[in-house]
Amino acid sequence: MQSRILLTLAFAGAVLACGDDHLHARDGHVHDHSKREFPSTKLTPPSRPLTWGSLNILHTTDSHGWLLGHQKTSFPEPNYSGDFGDFASFVAHMKELAIKKDVDLLLVDSGDLHDGTGLSDGYPVGGVDAHDSNEFFKQLPYDNTLDMHNNFAPRFNGRYLSSNVNITVNGVSKPVGSRFAKFKTRKGRAVTALGVLFDFTGNDKNTTVQKVEDMVKETWFTDAIKDEPDVFLLAGHMPIARDNWPLVFDAIRAIHPTTPILILGGHTHIRDCLQLDGRSMSLESGRYMETIGWMSADLPAPKGHHGYPRHNGEDHSATKNITFSRRYLDPNRVTFEYHTGRGNFSFDTVWGHSITKGLEKLAKKFDLSFTYGTAPHDFTINQAPYPSNNSVLSLMSEVMPVALTVNNSRASIPNIMITNSGSLRFDIYAGPFTKNDQLTASPFADSFLYIPNLPFSVANAVLPALNGAGADNRKRDAAVEAELWARGYVGTRYREWMEDMARRNAEKRPTANLTLGYVTSDACPGVGDDTPHAPLQFHAVPDFIASAPPSGLADDAPIDLVFVDFIETQLIGIVNGLQKEKVYTTADVSPYTNVLATEVLGIYAQKEWN
C-alpha cells in the first residue's frame, strides 16, 4: 500500500511535554547557546506577524519522518530546512508568548509519522517502523499499530485519539488510543476532542477502521458529545474537503448548533482551509514538515468565568460569527525567529538542541549518510516534463532494468518492467545520493513480480492500457482511483493541487525576487501563506511508467512482464483484457527478484553514478 497509516491522531493540549526542564538546565543555571548557522541559501522572512486569538493552535500533519529538515540547496527545499529540534525551540518560545499574552495555545498533529525518510524507515532488520523516530515526537506535547498502542499512546495520558480505529490484542478489540478526550485548557476552556481516520482499507492485520458514518451512530459518540463544552476540537487523518468531516460536524451541530468547532485534518499533503459555518474553521497543514499550520480564534470566555458576557441569562456572543485567522508557516529558522522575536544566539533551547543532537545520533546509527554515488543534476517528479533528462520518472525507467537484473537468473530474457508513478515519493537532488535520499525518493518496500512467457505484443500493450483514455478506461480508472484512495494513496489529490497552483499563477506577472514555494489559494478569507513565493512549474505525469521495450522482437516472442506488487490485481485484469488465449491468475505470477523498491535507486547509483 502507498500509505501505511498506523494512527489516527497525535494530540496534546499543552505545549511542554515534561515541564520546564526542557528549557533550562536542571542545575538552575541558564546555559549559553551556541550560534546556529542559517541555511546556506538566503531565505525570505515572513510577510507579517501572526494574529493571536484567545485560543491558538500550532498544527502539523503528514510529517513522514522529515524530522531532520530538508537539507538540499535547490529551492524550494531551503524553505523547510528547520529540523525538529528547531521546531521544539519554536514551540517553547510560543508557549512563553502565549503565557505573556494570557491566551491558550494547543499543539496538534494529525498523523502519518513515517514512510518518508531514513529516520523513520531506515531501521535495521527486525525493527519497527518509526519506533526510534517517534521517541522525538514523544518529547513534544503531541500525542506498526501495536507499537503505537503499547509504547506511544500511553505517553499522552489519554490524548492520543483513535475514535474509529481498534487493535486486537490477546483476542480483545480495543481502541489504539482513546476514543475521545475531555480536558480544560490553561485558561479554563472546556474542550471535547475526537480523532477520526478517513475510511481507510489498507490497515494492518489485527486492526479495524470503522466507517465514519457508522462511528457517529455509536452510543459512546453520542454520550461523548452530549454535554456542551466551550469548544469541540476534531482532529484526525482525514482531508478537510471532499471527505467525511461533515458527517462528524453535522452530528455535533444537530445537538449544539452554535458551539465553536475547530477541525484539524490531514492526508492529502496540501495546504487548505475552509469554514463549514461562521462558528467553525477547518485547517490542513501540508506534508513532510514543509508547513506548520497556525489557527487562532477569538472565543468567548469560558463558561462560568466572571467575564463571560451575558444579558438576562443569555449569551449574545453565542450566535455571532467567530473571528478566525489561519497561516501556513515555512518551517525554517528565519520563520521561527521572526515569530518568536528571538535572535540567532537566543533562539535555541537546551531542549531543542538535545533533540537535534538526538536526531543526528539516530541518523548515524542508521548509517543514513552512506553514499551510493553522486547524482549529476536534479531529478524532479513534476517540475520537469516527462519524459526528459531531468524527470525522476524517466530516471526510474532506466533504473529498473539495471537494478532488478543484478544476480538474476532471468537477466538475459527480454522484459518490460512497470511501476506506478506514485511509488516515487520525492525528488532527487544533485550531489551525494545517500541512503536517506534513497528512502526519501522511494520509501515503500514493495516487491517485484513477473509473468513469464507473455507474448511481446501483449506485454507491450499493457502500459498504454494502464494509462489509457476512453469511456471504459475512465470508468475503470475511477474505480481504481477510489480503491487506491481507500488504501491511502494521495498522489492524485496532491498533484491536482500543485497543477492548479501553477495554472492559477501562469498568467500573473511574476514578482521579482520571490523564491520558489507554495502559493496557496483556499476558501478562507485573506492570504494564508506566511511567506510569499513564486509557484513551482508543474508538468503532468502518467500514472504508470515502464522501461523501454526490447527492440527487434516479433509480436509472438515470449518475454517477462515485470511489475511492482502494488498493481498486481489491476495488471492481471489488463492482461486478460488484451488477449483471449489464456485467463491469467495470481497462480501465474512469481517473484522476480529479492530487490525491493526501496533498494533499486541505490543499486543503480552504485553502478552508474560512481
Q: What is the rounded average pLDDT of the residues 394-401?
A: 98
Task: Give me 477's grid cell.
Answer: 480508472
Say which residue, 595 or 486, is predicted with more confidence.
Answer: 595
pLDDT value of residue 337: 97
pLDDT for the residue 513: 83
Given a cut of 60, whether residue 5 has pLDDT beyond it is: no
pLDDT score of 338 more than 70: yes
Res 18 pLDDT > 50: no
pLDDT of residue 9: 35
Least confident among 51-55, 136-140, 313-317: 313-317
Q: What is the distance of C-alpha 120 from the center of its chain?
A: 13
A 10 A CB-CB count for 317 gives 15
- The Cα–Cα gap between 238 and 245 comes to 7
Residues paired with residue 324 on neighbouring β-strands, in sequence order: 297
Predicted local distance difference test score (pLDDT) of residue 177: 76
- The string of DSSP letters for 2-44 reads ------S-EEESSS-SS-GGGTS-TTSPPPP-PPPPPPSS--P
Give the span between the Cα atoms of 583 and 565, in whole angstroms: 19
* The pLDDT of residue 259: 97
Residue 373 confidence (pLDDT) above 50: yes
C-alpha to C-alpha distance for 569 and 367, rounded to whole angstroms? 36
What pLDDT score was predicted for residue 139? 67
pLDDT of residue 8: 34
In 10 A of CB 108, how many CB atoms? Answer: 29
Answer whether the bond into residue 387 is a cis peptide, omega within 30°: yes
Which tops the pLDDT comparison, 478 or 257? 257
Q: Map residue 544 onto helix, strand or coil.
A: strand
**Bond prior to 376 in cis (omega within 30° of 0):** no
**DSSP codes joined into one string, 235-291:** E-SS-SSSSSHHHHHHHHHTT-SSS-EEEEE-SS-SEEEE-SSTTEEEEEE-STTS-
Report the pLDDT value the prediction gives residue 143, as an integer from 0 to 100.
Answer: 33
DSSP string over 527-542: --BSS--BPPP-----
Question: What one-character-per-residue DSSP string does 81-110 give?
Answer: ---HHHHHHHHHHHHHHHHHHT-EEEEEE-
How far out from the chain centre does Cα 172 lie?
30
Span of 15-19, 308-312, 467-471, 476-480 with lowest mean pLDDT: 15-19
**Which pLDDT score is estimated for 25?**
29
Provide, rounded to the nearest whole percent, the portion of the chain with pLDDT above 90: 66
- The gap from C-alpha 496 to its chain's centroid, in whole angstroms, comes to 16
Beta strand 261-265 pairing with 231-235: parallel
Rounded to whole angstroms, what are the CA distances from 224 to 180, 182, 260, 388?
Answer: 7, 9, 16, 55
**Rounded-to-integer distance, Cα 415 and Cα 547, Å:** 9
The amino acid at 177: G
> What's the whole-number mean pLDDT along residues 3-15?
29
How distant, in Å, are the alpha carbons of 6, 464, 480 from that of 557?
45, 19, 30
CA 516 from chain center: how many Å? 20
Residue 35 confidence class, pLDDT cut points 50, 70, 90: very low
In this prediction, residues 213-231 reach a mean pLDDT of 96
Helices (H), 74-190: 84-101, 118-121, 134-139, 145-147
Phi, psi of 569 (to 5 degrees): -60, -45
- Asked if residue 66 lies in contact with residue 133, where contact means CB atoms within 8 angstroms, the answer is no
Query: Does CATH number 2.70.180.20 belong to domain 10-38+52-364?
Result: no
Q: For the chain, what percent of residues have pLDDT higher than 70?
A: 79
Tell me the mean pLDDT in the region 183-197. 92
Average pLDDT estimate for 42-67:
94
- 237: which 3 cell numbers? 487523518
CB 592 within 8 A of CB 404: yes
Tell me: the pLDDT tens digits for 135-185?
665 666 543 444 444 554 555 566 667 788 777 777 777 777 788 999 999
Question: What pLDDT is recorded for position 197?
Answer: 85
- Are residues 286 and 269 in contact, defined by beta-carbon separation less than 8 angstroms? yes
Q: How far apart are CA 402 and CA 408, in angstroms?
A: 11
Indicate whether this model's pTM tops 0.75: yes
486: pLDDT strictly greater than 70: no
Is the Cβ–Cβ distance between 364 and 75 less than 8 Å?
A: no
Please name every residue paired with 173 in a beta bridge, in sequence order, or none if there are none. 168
What Cα–Cα distance (Å) separates residue 574 from each residue in 463, 570, 592?
Answer: 9, 6, 19
Q: At what angle do helices 600-608 and 392-403 cross, to 10 degrees?
A: 80
For residues 97 and 162, give the distance between their C-alpha atoms in angstroms, rounded to a whole number. Answer: 31
- The matching CATH number, chosen from 3.40.50.740, 3.90.1150.10, 2.40.160.40, 3.90.780.10, for 371-608 is 3.90.780.10
The whole-angstrom distance between residue 524's C-alpha and the CA centroid of its chain comes to 22
pLDDT tens readout for residues 80-121: 999 999 999 999 999 999 999 999 999 999 887 766 576 766
| pLDDT (0 to 100) of residue 286 | 96
SS3 category, 388 = coil
Q: What is the pLDDT of residue 491?
A: 77
Strand ranges of the sheet holding 207-209, from the earlier edge strand across to the other edge: 172-175, 165-169, 207-209
Q: What average pLDDT does this structure show over 572-583?
A: 95
pLDDT score recorded for residue 278: 97
DSSP letter at 124 equals P
Confidence of residue 511 (pLDDT cuts 50, 70, 90): low
**CB–CB of 9/236 below 8 Å?**
yes
Domain coordinates in residue numbering, the chain = 10-38+52-364, 371-608
- Find out whether 351 and 83 touch, Cβ atoms under 8 Å: no
Reported as a pLDDT band with limits 50, 70 and 90, residue 307 is: very low
CA dihedral 351, 356, 362, 364 (to 10 degrees): -140
Residue 166 zone, left/alpha/beta (φ > 0; ψ -120 to 50; rest): beta
- Is the model more confident about 464 or about 112? 464
